[in-house]
A and B are shown apart, each in its own frame.
Chain A
Amino acid sequence: MTHRADTDYELVQRFLGGDSLAFEELMTAHEDRVFGVCLRMLRDREAALDATQETFVTVLRKADRFAGRSAFSTWLYRVAMNTCYDALRRRKRKPETQLPEHHAPPDLTAGDELRAVELRPDIEAALAELPPEFRAAVVLVDVEGTALAEASEILSVPVGTIKSRVFRGRRLLADALGNLSPRTGHLKDE
């Protein structure tokens, strides 16, 4: 266990004992990163905020089931990812907010939403081009620096699958970046 994992375990125990300070510390440690992952998965700030809230509520309500066998953060990000997948599925059912299919024209509003948080629009638009499972793998491993083993736990797939998704995701990302206008973040040829 890492120091962070040990600390999280202690914080969870204190939280279960009603320590509101422990709650604050857990939120401080993880809220930005959970939000960042959700924002990159959902490409919409409001949706990412909702997903972040849902993630913490879900995890903290079930905190008594956390036995510390894996890192708290692994569990937290697994819930976050599942929450994002659920949100994407719900969004997909609504035609007016349907996600663009791979190789389809990009969502031209995605860059606007992400620019609001001063992210680089070219990278974000390129990430947004990836299918969700590849985006999740690339965001976790390459953007967030999560180890392959932990990413495989978070996404509940074998390490080999994570590797494959990261590798293919990198190719797709490079392709998308190559097709993007660096100033606008929009595809050159569309």
Chain B
Amino acid sequence: MHNHDLDLIAALAEGRLDADQARSAEESFAGCDECSTNLMSHRASLAATATAERPGLTMAESSELRRQVGDAVGLSPRIEKAPQRRPWMGLATAAAVVIALIAVAPLVNLLSTDSDDAAASATTIAVTQEVAESPTAADSAEAPLATAAPATEAPFAQAPVGAAEGGAAEFSGRLDRDAALPESLLDFGNVDDLDKFLNEVPQGIENEAVSRALTLLELSYYRQEFAAATDEVAVTCTPDEVLELADTADSVITIGTADFAGTEFLILLVTLTDETRLVLALDAVNCEVLAQVEQ
């Protein structure tokens, strides 16, 4: 078998050799079936790809693409005019809501021991009240995801955690997604995906949680769609800013990051003072919590 240089075969097929070089190469390949086959393949493939047409966007597609991209990167005047929010408020918001849930869950159980639905409804009411008392709730009326008190008023270690100390041990059930999770976690996601997230992550170790969370990042696409259609403000939510919250919880650890649909994602493991652990999938751009589970 000949040991011909594949580069030479490619160069001949691509027409990069001068006449003498080409003739010499052809002669050397003449007695080599494999070389001839290779040469024919290169030529057939090149002939085909040379005639391949270049697909293009239609005018409508191009226009829509630019609108979507422009909105997402902040070229929209609507977005530019929107007020700035505190970058870590999303996490603090979620934390406040989660802690409220933990705090009221035992009470709910006491009030309604034989009806899960009733318990879930009561939990929802308690969360709603927490939200209603928030001084920022009115400001966030057009931004359904921003629904709770500012972080300074509802850090992890404040009253809700104290309340949870007595009750968290009894609160062993997973949150009822349909009734107990705040709307902010449900509005924009694929419900089936959220179910999967909630059902599977608590069973795993941290890496498994990250792995599973990453498969759920398609949810961010819906969030992005929503942000483009509302007055949501794009702010920067860096890991460092998120970790400012670490002194209000036992720890906040970034256990994963990812890009999806143009949205940077943080997967955080938050350990509260009662050792309750939460895995949060956090949109790193606008700091909104997309999904969360308790471990």
Residues of A within 8 A of B (CB): 20, 23-24, 27, 31-33, 35-36, 39-40, 49-50, 52-54, 56-58, 60-61, 86, 90, 93, 114, 117-120, 122-124, 126-127, 138, 142-143, 163, 166-167, 169-171, 173-175, 177-178
Answer yes or no: B141 CB below 8 A from chain A CBs: no
| The one of A40, A53, A118, A123 that contacts B69, using a Cβ cutoff of 8 Å | A53
Q: Are B7 and A163 in contact (CB under 8 A)?
A: yes
Report chain B residues within 8 Å CB of A127. 52
Q: In the complex the two chains form, what is the Cα distance from A170 to B39 in whole Å?
A: 10
- Known A93-B215, A120-B53; contact A27-B45, beta-carbon cutoff 8 A: no
| The one of A61, A86, A119 that contacts B53, using a Cβ cutoff of 8 Å | A119
Q: Are A35 and B56 in contact (CB under 8 A)?
A: yes
| The one of A36, A60, A126 that contacts B73, using a Cβ cutoff of 8 Å | A60
Report chain B residues within 8 Å CB of A23. 66, 69-70, 73, 75
Report chain B residues within 8 Å CB of A54. 260-262
Q: Are A117 and B55 in contact (CB under 8 A)?
A: yes
| The one of A31, A40, A126, A138 that contacts B62, using a Cβ cutoff of 8 Å | A31
Output the nearest chain A residue to B234 by Cβ-Cβ distance: A61
Report chain A residues within 8 Å CB of B52. 119-120, 123-124, 127, 143
Q: Are A57 and B73 in contact (CB under 8 A)?
A: yes
Answer yes or no: B41 CB below 8 A from chain A CBs: yes
Report chain A residues within 8 Å CB of B66. 23-24, 27, 31
Which one of B6, B51, B54, B56 has the greatest number of beta carbons of chain A within 10 Å? B54
Report chain B residues within 8 Å CB of A166. 10
